[in-house]
Structure 1
C-alpha cells in the first residue's frame, strides 16, 4: 500500500501518540518514511508521541528524528517529558542530543517546568545539565520557580548544584 507523504505522516504520528511501537516500526520501515514527516497539524511523531513510551522515542531518534524540534510555542519534546515527569523518555532524548537549555516562548527551560510540576527525579537529572542562571520572561530562575512553588527539597537540590 502506497501512502501519500501526508497520510504516512498522519499514520506515523497517530501510532506514536497511541504508543504503538510495532506500528511505528512498520511505518518507518515499509514506507521508508523520515521520522520527522509532519502530520496534518504540522507536528512530528516525536512531538506527539506517548511521552511514557521511551521505546518509541528511541526508535524515532535512531531513525534520525530531530530531538530539538520545537512547535510554534517553542515547546520541544524535552519540555513535554519534563512536564509529564517521564524521566526515562527525557534521558533518551538527552542521550540523542536534545538540549535541556532550549527555552519555550515564555523563556522556560525544561527544568522550570519540572519544578513547577513537582517532578523531583526529573529536576535531579536536569539540574547538572541546565543553565540554572537562565531566567524565564518573568525574570525567574529555576530557584525562583522552586521558591514560588514552596518546594524546599527542590530549593536545596538546586542550591547544591549551583554551589558545587
Structure 2
C-alpha cells in the first residue's frame, strides 16, 4: 500500500498522539518514514505525541526526530512538556538534545511556562539548565514570573540557582 507523504504523516502523528508505540514503530519501519514527517497541519509526531508517554518520545528521538522542532508559534516539545508537567518526557527530550533555551514567539522559555503552571519538579529540573537571565517579550525573567506567581518555594529554588 502506497501512501502519499501527507497521509503517511497523518498516520504517524495519529499513532504518536494516541500513544500507540507498536503502531508508531510499524509505520516507521514499514513505510520507512522519517520521524519528522509532517501531517496535514504541518506538525510532526514529536509535536503531537501524548506528552505523558516518554516511551513514544524516546522511540521518535532514537529514530532521528528533531527534539528542537518548533511550531508556527515557536513552541518546542520541551515547552509542551513543561506546560503539561511531564518530567519524564522532558528528561528524555533533554537527554536527546532538546534545548531548554529556545524561546517561543512570546520569548518564553520552558522554565517560564513551568513556573506559570506551578510545576515545581519541572522548575527544579530546568533551573540549572536554563538561561535564568533570559527575559520574555514582556521583559520578565524566570524570577520575575515566579515573583508574579507568588509561589515562594519556586522563587527560593530559582534564587539558589542564580546565586550559585
By how many angstroms is 1:2 displaced? 2.1
1:8 paired residue number: 8
By how many angstroms is 1:68 displaced? 0.3
2:74 paired residue number: 74
Which runs of no fewer than 5 residues in structure 1 stay unpaired? none
Alpha-carbon distance in structure 2 between the residues aligned to 1:140 and 1:151: 16
Alpha-carbon distance in structure 2 between the residues aligned to 1:132 and 1:25: 38
1:131 paired residue number: 131
1:62 paired residue number: 62
2:103 paired residue number: 103
Alpha-carbon distance in structure 2 between the residues aligned to 1:129 and 1:28: 32
User: With structure 2 as the length reference, what TM-score do the two structures score?
Assistant: 0.99
Moved over 3 A (4+): none
1:29 paired residue number: 29
Matches within 5 A, 1:37-56: 37-56=37-56
Residue deviations 1:134-159 (CA, integer Å, cap 9, x gap): 00000000010001000000000000
Over aligned residue pairs, what C-alpha RMSD do you find?
A: 0.5
Alpha-carbon distance in structure 2 between the residues aligned to 1:56 and 1:29: 15
Alpha-carbon distance in structure 2 between the residues aligned to 1:56 and 1:25: 9
Alpha-carbon distance in structure 2 between the residues aligned to 1:30 and 1:81: 29
Which runs of no fewer than 5 residues in structure 2 stay unpaired? none
Alpha-carbon distance in structure 2 between the residues aligned to 1:6 and 1:27: 13
1:122 paired residue number: 122
1:148 paired residue number: 148
By how many angstroms is 1:24 displaced? 0.5
Alpha-carbon distance in structure 2 between the residues aligned to 1:75 and 1:67: 11
Alpha-carbon distance in structure 1 between the residues aligned to 2:5 and 2:96: 25
